[in-house]
């Protein structure tokens, strides 16, 4: 059977075919950035991608069949959330945001962000230009009353060293990009063991996003990713999320090739199958888990295009 194709590729994504997997109605892409040159990059920012708007992303949604979106303020803008908030407004009620804050914001400002759809705060200790590990506890204390989560990205050695702090934080933790664990570190590094512990305890969530970033081959097709993905899916399938990482800022910077986002969804389905699970887990990862974490409404959607 021939898969349905688009006439031309979507911006910042290769390929024209739709996913082979039947994407469930209401599926959420939990890791997306938007960029706009009207907003100045933060001093020292290392990723300076071209403009990529919510409208551009809408074309990818139509290709891969997702309905909901989580926009994350990228490292490019430091703690300036204006570009992300504009994207949220454009995407409407089926979008949520993850902001970057420095902890000095007033309660009123945090309430304003909440009203605009923000449900978490990211602390990027990998490529970020704002924030340090010392902010973990102060940030968690600020956002706990709002029911927000703390999204983290950091090197495995640093992650492992922070285990006592992470275990006692009063908020849910979300680890993007496979927890930044390399496939070879699965089952071997203390950071991987810590993530599995936090997942099993209902303390954390992990995004199967950026597989092409953690893969030594710089591709989501890397079979070495399988065991790492399986470990998370077997430990806590109700705590796993998926994200495209569109528009793939590290790829546009030339660090690795642009991925095929339909294939990223197909690889998710392969990981779920390889972990001994099926359609219920795919629905959970793409629909139920994001709804629980980000507070989306229980909404009925038309059937997917498959």
For the entire predicted model, the pTM comes to 0.95
What's the domain range around 248?
Answer: 28-294
Residue 131 maps to a domain: yes
Is 224 a member of any domain?
yes
Q: What is the pLDDT of residues 191-219, one digit of tens each?
A: 999 999 999 999 999 999 999 999 999 99
pLDDT tens digits, 82-120:
999 999 999 999 999 999 999 899 999 999 999 999 999
CA dist 205 and 194 (Å) reads: 12
Query: Each residue of 178-203: b (16+ CB within 10 Å) or e?
Result: bbbbbbebbeebebbbbbbebbeeeb
Give pLDDT, residue 255. 83
And the tokens for 157?
């050695």
> Is 151 part of any domain?
yes
Please tell me the distance from the alpha carbon of residue 101 to that of residue 131, in angstroms, as a whole number: 8
Per-residue pLDDT tens for 218-265?
999 999 999 999 999 999 999 999 999 999 998 888 888 999 999 999
Within the chain, residue ranges assigned H as helices are 54-64, 82-91, 107-115, 136-143, 156-161, 163-168, 190-200, 211-214, 225-235, 249-252, 261-274, 279-283, 289-294
Beta bridge partners of 17: 5
Is residue 278 domain-resident?
Answer: yes
Confidence of residue 303 (pLDDT cuts 50, 70, 90): low
Is residue 17 situated within a structural domain?
Answer: no
CATH number of residue 74's parent domain: 3.20.20.140
pLDDT of residue 208: 98
Question: How confident is the model over 258-299, as pLDDT tens digits?
Answer: 999 999 999 999 999 999 999 999 999 999 999 999 999 987
In whole angstroms, give the CA distance from residue 27 to residue 287: 5
CB 92 within 8 A of CB 66: no
Span 60-69, mean pLDDT?
Answer: 97
- The answer as to whether 19 is a domain residue is no
């Amino acid at each position: 059977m021939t898969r349905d194709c688009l006439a031309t590729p979507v911006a910042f994504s290769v390929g024209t075919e739709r996913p082979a997997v039947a994407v469930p109605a209401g599926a959420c892409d939990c890791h997306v950035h938007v960029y706009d040159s009207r907003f100045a990059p933060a001093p020292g920012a290392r990723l300076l991608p071209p403009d990529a708007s919510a409208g551009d992303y809408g074309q990818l949604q139509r290709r891969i069949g997702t309905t909901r979106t989580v926009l994350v303020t990228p490292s490019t803008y430091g703690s300036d959330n204006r570009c992300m908030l504009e994207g949220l407004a454009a995407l409407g009620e089926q979008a949520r945001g993850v902001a970057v804050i420095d902890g000095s914001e007033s309660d009123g400002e945090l309430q304003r962000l909440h009203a605009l759809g923000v449900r978490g705060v990211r602390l990027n200790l990998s490529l970020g230009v704002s924030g340090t590990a010392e902010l973990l506890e102060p940030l968690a204390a600020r956002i706990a009353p709002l029911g927000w989560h703390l999204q983290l990205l950091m090197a495995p050695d640093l992650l492992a060293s922070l285990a006592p702090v992470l275990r006692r934080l009063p908020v849910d933790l979300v680890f993007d990009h496979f927890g930044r664990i390399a496939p070879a570190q699965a089952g071997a590094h203390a950071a991987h063991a810590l993530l599995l512990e936090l997942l099993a305890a209902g303390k954390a969530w992990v995004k199967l996003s950026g597989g092409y970033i953690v893969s030594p081959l710089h591709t989501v097709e890397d079979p070495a990713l399988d065991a790492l993905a399986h470990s998370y899916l077997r430990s806590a399938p109700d705590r796993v999320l998926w994200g495209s990482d569109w528009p793939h800022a590290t790829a546009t910077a030339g660090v690795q090739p642009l991925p095929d986002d339909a294939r990223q969804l197909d690889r998710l389905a392969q990981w779920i199958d390889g972990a001994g699970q099926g359609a219920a887990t795919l629905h959970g990862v793409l629909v139920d888990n994001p709804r629980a974490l980000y507070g989306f409404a229980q909404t009925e959607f038309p059937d997917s295009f498959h």
